[in-house]
Amino acid sequence: MRMADEEQLSGWIDAKAAAERLGVKPATLYAYVSRGVLRRRQAPDGRRSLFEAAQVEELARRGRPRRPPGPGELAIESAITALGADRHYYRGRDALEMAGSRTFEEVAAWLWQGRDEPREPEEGAEPWRARAEGVAAAVAAQSGLPPGLLPLDRLHLIAAALAATDPLRHHLDPEGVVATGRALIAGLVEALPAANRAPGGGRGGEGSGGRIAERLWNRLCPHPPGDAGLLRAFEAAMILLADHELAASTVAARVAASVRADPYAVVASGLGVLSGPLHGGASYGAERLIAEVADPEAASRVVGERLRGGEPVPGFGHAVYKSGDGRAALLMDLVRAAAPGHDRLAAAEAVLAEAARRRLPEPNVDFSLAALGAVAGLVPGAGEAVFAVARTAGWLAHALEEYGRRGPLRPRAVYVGPEPS
């Protein structure tokens, strides 16, 4: 090669080196070129593509570019959760791995502050304990509610009662929001009616010790967690659901926080959107689906009737994870390990087999959450409550980001109405 050619190639690397540095397939490099993310040139021999080394290095440090927002999507910069091909990452950590080794409290602290919380609270640290006045007010507020109300419907009222009795709710500094978050989540749990009277299953602040997952179990399950494996699966579900980037309820929560609404109002905004059947309410549909399968032989009829009626089969398909939801797979594996041979697990497995036979989309986390509820014997609508309490951690993490910014979020409409006159 001539000296001029060597000088001309200085600062450029071939496709193999660029792909290895970025951790992508060579085909992805050319997708980046077509989107204007990377520059490419031909080598003097005409047989190789070259990429600017400095640009590749900058991209490697910054992270892979996400695709441009699609129709109906709003792009907001956030350092909390990244979505991968089949799983999500909390501040760079694999959420599936965290679900297998961390407590819900540890994951919430990581989402809020980006640092590990010690297993034993430090001296002077705020505990995960509800304010007694708030719980008492929330319990009293529920006295006139009709029996059989689903837990998620109660959580709306509980959040409002907790807010009304907290004189510090307008403290929006990071330490204040974290302290409020701990008390708020504990209050949401402790003000729910107790499904059993195991330790930690009391009401109105009674028996409020133990981890949040165990406290919530005692509100949603008529019997104590006799099997440690099922309780572990329950807490793993909370960790997996703690955040999922800019889901609809999180956008609502961020908009509220951007105008400096207090943390309780942020959570109330998220709860309002979460209840929709295309979001957190989807687990209730999957729960009822499994409940209809009295025995495995009924799965074909139950799934077939929904398809015949033009209804979607709840618990299958995901807008992000087209090839499979890793959260669903992990949670189902935990349920299988905890309760092999359980008749409700057999019903869920039969639905999965029937969905695969009919080539439906892959199951999502809503289905696995419903399967956990069926096997554990949780009260109707428990999946929605698990989702709501867990996602409160994520909503407050996003609120903390918004509180640190200056202006409100203000999406703009693309006007398509009549010409203004």
**Enzyme catalytic residues:** 318, 366
Cα angle at 400 between 159 and 243, to 5 degrees? Answer: 70
Q: What is the DSSP letter of 363?
A: B
Give 372-413 as a DSSP string. Answer: HHHHHTPPTTHHHHHHHHHHHHHHHHHHHHHHTSSS------
Other residues' Cβ atoms within 10 Å of the Cβ of residue 300: 16
Order of strands across the sheet that contains 93-94: 81-83, 88-90, 93-94
Tokens read off for 16: 């193999």
Other residues' Cβ atoms within 10 Å of the Cβ of residue 234: 28
Q: Are 385 and 152 in contact (CB under 8 A)?
A: yes
Is 238 strand, coil or helix? Answer: helix
Is 59 strand, coil or helix? Answer: helix
Q: Are 236 and 334 in contact (CB under 8 A)?
A: yes
List beta partners, residue 88. Answer: 83
Q: Are 361 and 249 in contact (CB under 8 A)?
A: no
CA 316, 318, 321, 322 torsion-angle sign: positive
* CA 109 vs CA 102, 241, 327: distances in Å: 11, 15, 20
**Half-sphere exposure in the Cβ direction for 176 (13 Å, CA):** 12
Other residues' Cβ atoms within 10 Å of the Cβ of residue 284: 24
Other residues' Cβ atoms within 10 Å of the Cβ of residue 388: 24
